[in-house]
Amino acid sequence: MMDIVIPNDNEEEFIAIAHKLGYKTLYFLYDYDNYQSKKKNFADIPGMKIVKGTLADSKNLKKIKNKTEEGVFVAAKSSDKDMEIMEGSLANLIFSFEENQRRDFIHQRASGLNHILCSLARKNNITVGFSFASILNAKNTYEILGRIMQNLRMCRQFKVKTVIASFAKNPYEMRSMHDLMSLFKILEW
C-alpha cells in the first residue's frame, strides 16, 4: 500500500489524505535542488513510512546519480532520452511513457515504450511507473488510456516490474490503492 506524489511545500496535506486513504508508505519526489534543502524528517508519523526521493530529468540525471548518496530513490519522467537512462541504470523508476506528443500509428499507439526499452528495464532492474495523474489531467483521455493498455501488455510480456501510483501534484488528485488497482486491472485485461 504505497503511493508516489510530487509535493510543493504541501507535505502535511499529502500525509493527512494518504493516512485517510490507508497508505502505509508515501514517496515524496523532489527536484534535486529541493531534495537537498528538504531536511525535515517525517519519521514520527504513526503507521506510515515516508520516503524522500529525487525527481530527475534527462539533463541532470547523471549529476544527481553522482552527487547523491547510495540508496536514494531516483525517479525520471519519460523523455526522448529513455534509452540512455535505462542503459546507464541511472534511475530506479521511469514513469509517464504515455504522455509523449507523437502521433499514433495506424495499427498501434505511439506509447513511448517498446520491446528494446522493456528488455533494458528488465536487465537493469528499472521499474516502469504508470501515472493516474496523466489520466486525470489529460485532454485526450482515450489516447492516454490506449497507450497505457499497450504499455501494460508489453511490460507483462517482457516481465518488467511495474508500479501504479497517483504521481499527484495536488493532494486531492490522490486516490485509494484499491481504486487505482481496479482501474489498471481493467486496462490490463
pLDDT tens, 45-99?
788 898 888 898 777 777 776 666 667 889 998 888 888 888 887 889 999 888 8
Query: Which pLDDT score, from 0 to 100, does residue 140 have?
Result: 87
Residue 39 has pLDDT above 60, yes or no: no
Characterize 139-153 residue by residue with b for buried, 16 or more Cβ atoms within 10 angstroms of its Cβ, and e for exposed: eeeebbbbbbbbbbe
Query: Which pLDDT score, from 0 to 100, does residue 40 have?
Result: 63
Angle between helices 141-157 and 177-188 (to 10 degrees): 80
Q: In the sheet that 73-77 helps form, which strands lie side by side, from edge to edge? A: 2-5, 25-30, 49-56, 73-77, 93-95, 127-131, 162-165
Domains parsed from the chain with CATH numbers = 2-188 (3.20.20.140)
pLDDT tens, 154-175?
999 999 999 999 999 999 999 9
Query: Which pLDDT score, from 0 to 100, does residue 68 have?
Result: 62
pLDDT bucket at 103, cuts 50 / 70 / 90: low
pTM of the predicted protein model: 0.87
Query: Which pLDDT score, from 0 to 100, does residue 67 have?
Result: 62
Neighbours of 42 (CB within 10 A): 16
Q: In this structure, are residues 177 and 184 in contact, taking their beta carbons and an 8 Å threshold?
A: no
pLDDT tens, 117-152?
999 999 999 999 999 999 999 888 988 898 899 899
How big is the chain, counted in residues?
A: 189
